[in-house]
């Protein structure tokens, strides 16, 4: 089928319906019939744009994770334009991986559901690997760039440091999802998570930025 703007728009509409179902009730809820009802179209039309449920789910997963990455990259660009420090920019953009509002909470559940499926699906596993590699690459390149402006120590292994930061961010994301609404030492868990991440970034990027002097 030729790709047209209408074709892409319809696929996006169907994927958004699938996303809503998965975010609300998990992968099993996103049957072709349920997605059709959620999108307000027929099952036949869903099948016209997606040849199988697996194709639809994979498209939905990739679209969800691409949206998270796009927001992170946008925050990086905005931070650089505002002459922010690398540590400060990473602190802001990495919070896009945390379930701190309705949209991000849904994204976290979708991502977690597909990570579980990736254990048995090579296609889903590849998207999960690509997403993790892109996020880790963003962190690593930021840490490496910090060597030029003075925020990063010259001998820092950027990729290793990035792996550690991402592991911390993902672990905090899981805790924030499970402990939604709970307090940590008398303050919201999200605020505590920011303190923890800020400390980790300060250790990774301990220097003072000289870029904008």
Query: Tens digits of per-residue pLDDT, 20-44?
Result: 999 999 999 999 999 999 999 999 9
Query: Is the pLDDT at 155 greater than 70, yes or no?
Result: yes
Q: 109: which residues sit within 8 A by CB, 6+ positions away? A: 22, 23, 26, 99, 177
Domain with residues 58-204, CATH architecture: Orthogonal Bundle (1.10)
What is the per-residue pLDDT for 53?
93
- Structural contact between residues 202 and 140, judged by C-beta atoms closer than 8 angstroms: no
| Digit-coded pLDDT (tens) for 106-139 | 999 999 999 999 999 999 999 999 999 999 999 9
Region label for 2, one of left (φ > 0), alpha (ψ between -120 and 50) or beta (otherwise): beta
CA dihedral over 148, 153, 158, 162, signed as positive or negative = negative
Conformational region of residue 152, where left means phi above 0, alpha means psi within -120 to 50, and beta covers everything else = beta
- Distance CA(128)–CA(61), nearest Å, equals 9
Task: Tell me: pLDDT of 2 over 60.
Answer: no
In this prediction the pTM is: 0.91
pLDDT digits (tens, 9 = 90+) for 72-88: 999 999 999 999 999 99
Q: What is the pLDDT of residue 1?
A: 47
Query: In whole angstroms, what separates CA 57 from the centre of its chain?
Result: 17
Question: What is 1-51's CATH topology?
Answer: Arc Repressor Mutant, subunit A (1.10.10)
Q: How far is CA 132 from the centre of its chain?
A: 9
> Shortest CA distance to 99 belongs to which of 28, 29, 179?
179
The residue extents of the domains of the chain are 1-51, 58-204
49 — pLDDT class (breaks 50, 70, 90): very high
């Amino acid at each position: 089928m030729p790709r047209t703007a209408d074709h892409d728009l319809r696929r996006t509409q169907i994927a958004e319906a699938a996303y809503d179902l998965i975010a609300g009730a998990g992968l099993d809820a996103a049957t072709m019939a349920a997605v059709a009802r959620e999108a307000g179209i027929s099952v036949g039309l869903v099948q016209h744009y997606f040849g199988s449920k697996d194709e639809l789910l994979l498209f939905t997963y990739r679209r969800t994770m691409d949206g998270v990455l796009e927001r992170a990259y946008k925050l990086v660009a905005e931070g650089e334009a505002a002459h922010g420090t690398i540590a400060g920019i990473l602190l802001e953009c990495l919070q896009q991986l945390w379930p701190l509002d309705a949209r991000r909470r849904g994204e976290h559940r979708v991502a977690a559901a597909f990570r579980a499926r990736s254990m048995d699906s090579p296609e889903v596993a590849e998207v999960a690997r690509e997403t993790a590699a892109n996020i880790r690459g963003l962190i690593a390149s930021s840490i490496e760039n910090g060597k030029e402006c003075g925020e990063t120590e010259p001998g820092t292994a950027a990729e290793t440091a990035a792996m550690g930061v991402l592991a911390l961010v993902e672990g905090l994301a899981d805790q924030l999802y499970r402990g939604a609404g709970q307090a940590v030492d008398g303050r919201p868990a999200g605020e505590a998570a920011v303190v923890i991440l800020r400390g980790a970034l300060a250790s990774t990027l301990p220097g003072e930025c000289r870029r904008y002097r």
